[in-house]
Amino acid sequence: MIRNYIGQQAVDDFGQVFASYKYSAAVAATTDTLLTVPGGAARFKALIKAGVDAEIWVALNEVADIPAGAGFAADTSELVTVNGEVCREVTAGDVLHFYSTAGGTVSVVFYAVI
């Protein structure tokens, strides 16, 4: 059964039902780790959490990377802080890319958007 996300729900995971699709990985240091958004619905809310062991960078449909230097520059990725979380809308077939300089764990759960 696909669990749905509705507009009245918060974008964090407080009070959410268990997700229909749950994934986790131990991201190896300096390795692009991929996750394809499952089918079953056209759009999903992807709740992405980083473990306590490392910062994780995530990008949508592009290779994830880390900032290049001390100045601001355009980037493909956004940071999921240590023991942090982000929630982003994605579509079925999108590819999430994860990267970490030191390795670490990441969890991604998907809620269908109705």
pLDDT in tens, 51-98: 887 789 999 999 998 877 788 888 889 999 888 889 999 999 999 999
Q: Compute the distance between CA of residue 49 and CA of residue 36 in angstroms, rounded to an integer.
A: 16
Nearest by Cα to 65 from 49, 52, 73: 73
CATH number at residue 85: 2.60.120.10
Residue that has been written with the tokens 């109705």 in this structure = 114
Domain holding 16, by residue range, is 4-113
Residue 9 has pLDDT above 80, yes or no: no
Tell me the pLDDT tens digit for each residue of 44-55.
Answer: 999 999 988 778
| Identity at 97, one-letter amino acid code | H
- pLDDT higher than 60, residue 5: no
Measured CA to CA in angstroms, residue 2 lies from 7, 21, 35, 49 at distances of 16, 8, 18, 20
The SS3 of residue 19 is coil
Q: How many domains does the chain have?
A: 1
